[in-house]
Structure 1
Amino acid sequence: MSNSTELVLPSNVIICEVAPRDGFQAVKDWIPTEDKIAIVKKLAQMGVQSLEITSFVHPKAIPQLKDASEVVEACQDLTDIKLRALVPNVKGAERAIDAGIKKLKLMLSATDSHSISNANCVTEEAQNGFLPIVELAEKRGVQVGGSISVAFGCPYEGKVPQERLDQIVKRYMEMGVAEISLADSTGAGNPKQVYEVLGYLRNRFPNMLFTMHLHNTRGLAIANAVAALQQGITNFDSAIAGLGGCPYLPGATGNVATEDLVNTFHEMGIETGMNLDTVIGVAKKVKEMIGHKGASYMLQAGPCSTLHAKPKSQKKVEK
């Protein structure tokens, strides 16, 4: 038996910035299209490798993202960053591809209750409706990633059985989808649960790429990210300033803040390819631009490396 106490974790991770989609959809006041584009360009300066730029949903569903095509078309010069967009149906996929998107992300709920609230149909029906999207993407040379919302807990049904996730992943594989985002949409998951669920899924589906989409509703997003790291997960979603929240989930709050996630990984010696000071600066600027309070420890306290001035004098302790 080894006496080593060293925790073996991945040396590098990839963070996908989702503020332009998940973050903006939670903002009620209209963000002008030119501001959205300017924000995306600022996000691109952080060293991020992947960016979820928008969602091609019906404008009536999420009015904030009705300018999805304009935003994507204006950001085609960001050739060093992989841009992806969320799509609910074939029409949305067609709009996304025509605008220049090279990677689509499907939106699916783990439970029927949330699926009815979010997509107006049960999970199986929603997932079966993805096949035409996958076929279209294959014809157009575009990648497709899957997702499972409320994967670690549903506000209507509680904990999601592993067998349910197993069933959904199997169907994705049958469609030819090789990447799935597991979303803790209401921050219901805990580190032990995340570790066990990922262990189960990675053992059952060793060729599937699982990524994590964490919300900090109950303050456990960072702990859950570390649990995912322990299972070898290297792809994470986050949003600067902790922006975000699903409009179809009771009590939903923002994503884990990008600056908090980057700080955690860097403190643990894990490389992200991003500059923390730059990320914090962008988060502050975006927060000011859209007037959304967000939730970020880095914006409140700053990184541990930021030291304060020492006291000029100290009173002598009398013996």
Structure 2
Amino acid sequence: MNLPSKVMVREVGPRDGLQLEQKILSTEDKIYFLSQLSNAGLKAVEATSFVNPRAVPQHHDAEAVVRGAKLADDKVRISALIANLTGLERALAADVREVNVAVSASELHNLKNVNMTVEQSLGQLRAICRHAENKISIRASISMVFGCPYQGETELSMIMRILEEYLTNGITDIALCDTAGFANPRQVFNLVEKLRAHYPLARFALHMHDTRGMGLTNIFAGLQAGIDSFESSLGGLGGCPFIPGASGNVPTEDMVFMFDEMGISTGINFGNLVLLGRWLEGKLAKRLPGRMLHENVCRFREE
């Protein structure tokens, strides 16, 4: 079996996970969260989003979080989500080194999510890239790659349209997102293999959801297809806003456990992840869906 010897894990819990939580964590707790992710060995973390705080109250303190995290620990690469030029200006002012932009491969989802057509979003992307002028690193995501609850199957032509716009604008780090958790392993393998062959300059990552319990199997399919970069959320924090009650992001600790068992290096300390996940459960006063967080499951790894 041809699998990578090591992978890169990007933690998105502080941004993607927390944004849906009703309980607003303190700025100090968010900075602590980021510092402990670094202590666990994470090298890349999506920390917050520079968006309208009325739309996402959890990230009202984006500037303070990224500045505090950088002062506390400069070993981790902090990134932030932006949606427009205003977000870019805020990120630049906060001295963020990397931003993430996202466009959905579902026209209807893009309209519901950002009130723009896909072409309007791509126009916004071009403006962001022009304004950035090499002052900041830009990576990108494509939402709803593996299916959409509003439109059904995602058209390959739309995925390729967005990919080509990203690459034309110099963006090569691109995450393929199973936003609704509809993917299956055969679909993941076939699509990833096709896109990697067609776009050899792109550095693809996978961002899978566990809505139907296939998150880890889809990640394994991605490994088999040549992916060595994955996005996940501690404890499975995040939920799925498109399917009420469904699970959301693949738990980071579950994915790291799988990689460890397979002999694939992540550079991440599994035990520290578990301890941090339990701390997060306490702060949010809720049980998170990550399987490996709970003592009866992973006690043998902690002895």
TM-superposed deviation, 1:64 = 0.9
Correspondent of 2:285 among 288, 291, 294: 291
Partners in 2 of 1:270 and 1:232 — Cα distance? 13
Correspondent of 1:228 among 222, 230, 246: 222
TM-superposed deviation, 1:294 = 2.2
For residue 60 of structure 2, what is the amino acid of its counterpart? Answer: K
TM-superposed deviation, 1:286 = 1.1
Correspondent of 1:65 among 49, 55, 59: 59
Q: Helix, strand or coil for the counterpart of 1:156?
A: coil
Structure 1, unpaired ranges of 5+: 1-6, 309-319
Q: Deviations over 1:164-200 (max 9, x none)?
A: 2111111111111111111111111010000011011
Structure 2 contact 103–162 (Cα < 8 Å) conserved: no
Structure 1 contact 186–253 (Cα < 8 Å) conserved: no
Q: Which structure has the highest helix share of the two?
A: 2
Partners in 1 of 2:256 and 2:200 — Cα distance? 27
Corresponding residue for 1:316? none
Matched, 1:105 2:100: yes
For the aligned residue pairs, the C-alpha RMSD in angstroms reads: 1.6
Q: Helix, strand or coil for the counterpart of 1:76?
A: helix
Matches within 5 A, 1:1-319: 7-77=1-71, 78-140=73-135, 142-245=136-239, 247=241, 249-251=242-244, 253-300=247-294, 301-303=296-298, 305-306=300-301
Q: Deviations over 1:199-224 (max 9, x none)?
A: 11001101101111111111111000
TM-superposed deviation, 1:302 = 3.1
Partners in 1 of 2:121 and 2:215 — Cα distance? 28
Q: Deviations over 1:223-268 (max 9, x none)?
A: 0000000111111111111101354x34363211010000000111
Q: 1:307 to 1:54 in 2, by over 3 A?
A: closer
When normalised by structure 1's length, the TM-score is: 0.90
Q: 1:246 to 1:284 in 2, by over 3 A?
A: same
TM-superposed deviation, 1:139 = 4.1
Partners in 2 of 1:293 and 1:96 — Cα distance? 32
Larger Rg: 1
Partners in 2 of 1:190 and 1:178 — Cα distance? 25
How many residues align structurally?
A: 300
Partners in 2 of 1:94 and 1:112 — Cα distance? 27
When normalised by structure 2's length, the TM-score is: 0.95
For residue 97 of structure 2, what is the amino acid of its counterpart? Answer: K
Corresponding residue for 1:4? none
